[in-house]
Chains A and B, each alone.
Chain A
């Protein structure tokens, strides 16, 4: 936001021998970008947050220490559900002993060291989903080709969407991003029904599909809505204090 450029006045000095002074280009301006230095908005991976339960927090503390140890050796980049990743794993039966898979992350599950993410791609008209463990020693590299966030946490509906939304080129180049990731407004279009799950029902709470169903079907789906659930206060899990403690540990 603030940029300082220093301009020298050497061009205006009168030279001793009367000839016009040699042109000296001004030094490059120094841009200090404050946007990237926001401390409060640092990303915390969701597998660090312990689930709600009665287990001893010591177990999660020890697991977190192990996770940090692994992250020091192998860097796990920041990514969200909906971003395109390329993962190289070790494989004893391949010719170069490693396998590369590109896909869109449709869900991130598990907590602690067993945290997983599922990548989906459509290869030669066949949909393929592979579930990788983040902290597995067989993973050699994770690159984020396109960092993107979606409106939902779970993109399982891509199985019933048109295949163009799940196909990604295996050799695509990483797309550079400067500003913070935005949530895209374009919605996904679906194949005709039947679907594997009834995504129009409010139980799944999906915001990223453009439903082309008739009005009476959408109204019939609302019959299964449970409006009292949002007022059920004991079901809420407030993670802000837990996150603050974990950030201090990191």
Chain B
């Protein structure tokens, strides 16, 4: 009678396995979180970025609790290996994200890596960063049916307003 699950089944497991051990997985993600807080936009394999996203957002939630909170300070001390970033986290990032309740990061996929492994890469960035935007929102072309109808409606409204203006 088999009492434990077979070796290769991982139904419902949410945490990916990185590095040599659970400790090394956390160290890897910790380095990535530190890099994100320092540079505010980094390019890594997609799996690492996805895993790191949850930790980064929870870290910012802890930072929102404030400087004086003992637990928040201990978390920041563990997760940020470069100690000058703790100041940046509490004084710059926490006020920046104070109005938003969640989702402080943006994850976008990139063409695969150039090396031999062709790994799926992604860019993860904090919203509101000072760097130039990654995605430029493009307006729809003027020649689509909906846009033509809207343009006609706008012109009719302007003509009606002008006619009312001259009549009164």
Contact = CB atoms under 8 A, between A and B. Distances in A.
Q: Does B bind A?
A: yes
Interface of A: 226, 228, 231-234
20 contacts: A226-B23, A228-B22, A228-B23, A228-B26, A231-B26, A231-B74, A231-B75, A231-B78, A231-B79, A232-B26, A233-B54, A233-B55, A233-B58, A233-B59, A233-B62, A233-B75, A234-B14, A234-B54, A234-B55, A234-B58
A53 to B, nearest CB: 8
A40 B74 CA distance: 29
Given A231-B74, A234-B15, 16 more contacts: A226-B22, A226-B23, A228-B22, A231-B26, A231-B75, A231-B78, A231-B79, A233-B54, A233-B58, A233-B59, A233-B62, A233-B75, A234-B14, A234-B54, A234-B55, A234-B58
A226 B78 CA distance: 14
A233 B22 CA distance: 14
A228 B55 CA distance: 14
Majority secondary structure of chain B interface residues (helix, strand, loop or mixed): helix
Nearest to A232: B26
Contacts of B79: 231
A105 to B, nearest CB: 28
Interface in B48-85: 54-55, 58-59, 62, 74-75, 78-79
Contacts of A226: 22-23
Contacts of B58: 233-234
Interface string B70-103: 0000110011000000000000000000000000
Contacts of B54: 233-234
Interface residues of B, number: 14
Contacts of A231: 26, 74-75, 78-79
Contacts of A234: 14-15, 54-55, 58
Contacts of A228: 22-23, 26
Contacts of B22: 226, 228
Nearest to B56: A233
Interface in B11-28: 14-15, 22-23, 26
3 closest Cβ contacts across the A-B interface?
A: A233-B58, A231-B78, A228-B26
Contacts of A233: 54-55, 58-59, 62, 75
A123 B59 CA distance: 52
Nearest to B71: A230
A161 B62 CA distance: 40
A202 to B, nearest CB: 15
B93 to A, nearest CB: 16
B17 to A, nearest CB: 14
Nearest to B27: A228
Contacts of B59: 233
A233 B62 CA distance: 10
B84 to A, nearest CB: 20
A244 to B, nearest CB: 15
A20 to B, nearest CB: 68
A133 B141 CA distance: 65
Interface in B115-154: none
A234 B61 CA distance: 12
A226 B23 CA distance: 8
Interface in B25-60: 26, 54-55, 58-59
Nearest to A229: B22
B8 to A, nearest CB: 22
A234 B58 CA distance: 8
